[in-house]
Every structure is written in structure tokens, then in C-alpha cells.
Amino acid sequence: MRISLRQLAVFEAVARHESVSRGADDVAISQSAASMAIKELEESLGITLFHRQGRKLTINENGRRLQPMARSLLARAREIERFSSSDELQGLLRIAATETIADHVLGPICGRFLKQHPGVSIKIETTKWLNVFNMVENMACDLGFAEAPCNRGGLIFEPLMNDEMVVFCAPDHPFAGRDQVSRAELAKERWCLRSAGSAGRHKLALGFDAVTAALQITFEADTGNAVKNAVRSGFGIGCLSRRTLTEEFASGALVPITTPDLPLERVFGMLHPRHVYRGSLQESFSAIVRESADHDIGQRFGNQALDISSDVGDGLTTH
């Protein structure tokens, strides 16, 4: 049996993209050369690695078993290559992150890392909470950053820092200036929220502690800025990470609502596949992320888990 690193690199790229053409672009070869490499690898192994339906290509169970082994071997090969060149880190680091973490946490960390390692480039894909877990699990990225621990056996979740969700309103809203507002009063209001599937919306549903909660959601959007603008315009009250509202609270454009009986604390964490070797690039970036972490976060959240299977709902009904 003769299996080459080139064949494994093509397989890894095609499996990650589930596309021969995109995988070929990733390793800088032609589509026909990529198809041939996959065919040769399958013939050497005596198995198929993908389901083929016309031009559509989907990784099968054999491919999923090979994927972490191929990713690990390629990472080790890159480590070996560094012995014959400089010790400087090089390569592309692919990150998946939720909007809040990408916009308000990772920017400064990436800036520090790139200054230290000018041969590295970083690509961040901003996506929804569950998509981050799926991308890390399917090895479509090197590292993921999302809210809340999980119980997916193939993933390792490292708690990093606390985050507080906060309910807020426009300065002329009746709740502005109140010492506190009850959960019952909040449930009667009109809401402006992130789209279903966002971590913040799921956390709000857990806070109301009712899968059948029928909040009156009059506005929903994919971005936090759209939610803030809707609340500022008087469409209703909102709920976002306090990190995203610093400027608005400081200027008085928006006002926080004190909600003592609505638990909205959560945790940010880093995700990586459990059975994949992590090379120097991933480990070095992970180390600089850990330097920014809350020192007590592991003790407070490390043993907690949330089931975030793909059929999770947010518990909130749009009216």
C-alpha cells in the first residue's frame, strides 16, 4: 500500500469543503488532479470515502473515520517541515466564532498573535452558536469559539471567560430608570432579539424557564447592531451581551434594565476536536487565548454541560 501526504492533503481539503473544486483550490491543484488523488487513495485503501450523487459529494462513515487521522498526520508533517526551515510559525489558522466573540474578544488577541508571528494568517468565519460546534466537529475549522459548555463526546470545550447578557431599552421607555423589573413584567413586553439559533436567544429562553414561553417578538435580526437600532427606535426591549452595549450605555442612547430574577450569566469557551493532533500553530494561538481567560472560570464552569444537539429550540415563540 502506498499512500502519499499529497493524497491525504487533497482528501482532507475535499472532506472539509465537501467539494472537489473547493478542495482543489485549497491545495492549489486542478480539479481533475484532485479527483485523481481521491480515486488513488480509495483504491489504495480498498474503500470509498465519499457518497456520490451526480456532482454532489458527501463524506461517508469511512471518510469520517479517516478524517481525524489524516488531519493529525498532516499537522505532524508540517511540524517536521519546520525543522528544515526557520522556527517561525507559518500557515493559515481557520477559526469559527459567534458574532459577539468575534467582534469583542478575538480582535485584540488576533492582533497580538499576528504581531508575534508575521508568517501566519487568520481567517475567522462568524456564524451562529450551533454552527460553530458543527464546524469544529466536522473539522471545517481549526478552532471554534462559542457560548456555553457542551456534551458532544468528540469535542473538548475549554471555558475561558464570563459574559453577562443584559436586557435593555430606549431611554424613554417606561422601564428606564426603574430600580428593577420582574420577569413577569418583562414577559408582557415587545421584544427585539437575535434570530432563532443564536446563543443569546437560547440563554434568554432558559432564563424564562419555559419551553412554551410565548414572548411577543416583534423584531428579530442576524446581527446585534440591528437589534440595538430597533430598540433605540422604540420597537421594544432587547437582550444582548453587555460587551456589545458599552458605548450605548455610556452615551445614554440605550439603558440597561435591572432584572434580578432573570439569570443571564454565561461563559465563553474554546473548542477543538478531541482526537486530532494540534500542531504548533493551534497550540500557540490557544496559549495566547488562555492568557486572556478568567483565572477562576474553569472551576466555576468546567464541570457543567448543556445538551446542544441539532434539534435544540430556543423556547421563544415569535408573534
**What is the per-residue pLDDT across 256-280, written as a single tens digit (0 to 9) for each?**
999 998 989 999 999 998 888 888 8
Q: Are 5-84 and 91-161+268-301 equal in CATH topology?
A: no
Cα 239 from chain centre = 20
The rounded distance, in Å, linking the Cα atoms of 145 and 98 is 7
pLDDT exceeds cutoff 60 at 216 = yes
Architecture of domain 5-84: Orthogonal Bundle (1.10)
Q: Identify the three-state secondary structure at position 166.
A: strand
The rounded distance, in Å, linking the Cα atoms of 95 and 159 is 17
The rounded distance, in Å, linking the Cα atoms of 181 and 203 is 18
The rounded distance, in Å, linking the Cα atoms of 291 and 105 is 13
User: Which CATH code fits 91-161+268-301?
Assistant: 3.40.190.10
The sign of the torsion formed by the CA atoms of 209, 211, 215, 221 equals positive
Distances (CA, A) of 254 to 171, 243, 244, 246, 257: 6, 13, 12, 10, 10
The full set of domain ranges for the chain reads 5-84, 91-161+268-301, 163-265
pLDDT exceeds cutoff 50 at 310 = no
C-alpha cell at 229: 437600532
Alpha-helical regions (H) of the chain: 5-17, 20-26, 31-45, 61-81, 99-101, 107-116, 129-137, 183-187, 199-208, 224-232, 246-251, 280-291, 297-301
Residue type at 83?
F
Single out the residue of 176, 133, 170, 131 nearest to residue 151, CA to CA.
133
Start-to-end C-alpha separation, the chain? 61
Percent of the chain whose predicted confidence (pLDDT) is above 70: 87
pLDDT exceeds cutoff 80 at 150 = no
Q: Regarding the domain with residue range 163-265, which homologous superfamily does it belong to in the CATH classification?
A: Periplasmic binding protein-like II (3.40.190.10)
**pLDDT at residue 316 in the model:** 63
Residue 98 falls in which region: left (phi positive, over 0), alpha (psi -120 to 50) or beta? beta
**pLDDT at residue 270 in the model:** 95
C-alpha cell at 260: 434580578
Burial of 200: CB neighbours in 10 Å, binned 0-12, 13-18, 19+: buried
Distances (CA, A) of 107 to 41, 113, 114, 311, 317: 40, 10, 11, 31, 34
Paired residues of 256 in beta bridges: 168
**pLDDT at residue 304 in the model:** 43
**pLDDT at residue 212 in the model:** 45
**302 falls in which pLDDT band (50, 70, 90)?**
very low
Contact criterion met (CB below 8 Å) for 268 and 163? yes
**pLDDT at residue 115 in the model:** 95
Contact criterion met (CB below 8 Å) for 308 and 130? yes
| pTM score | 0.77
pLDDT exceeds cutoff 90 at 215 = no
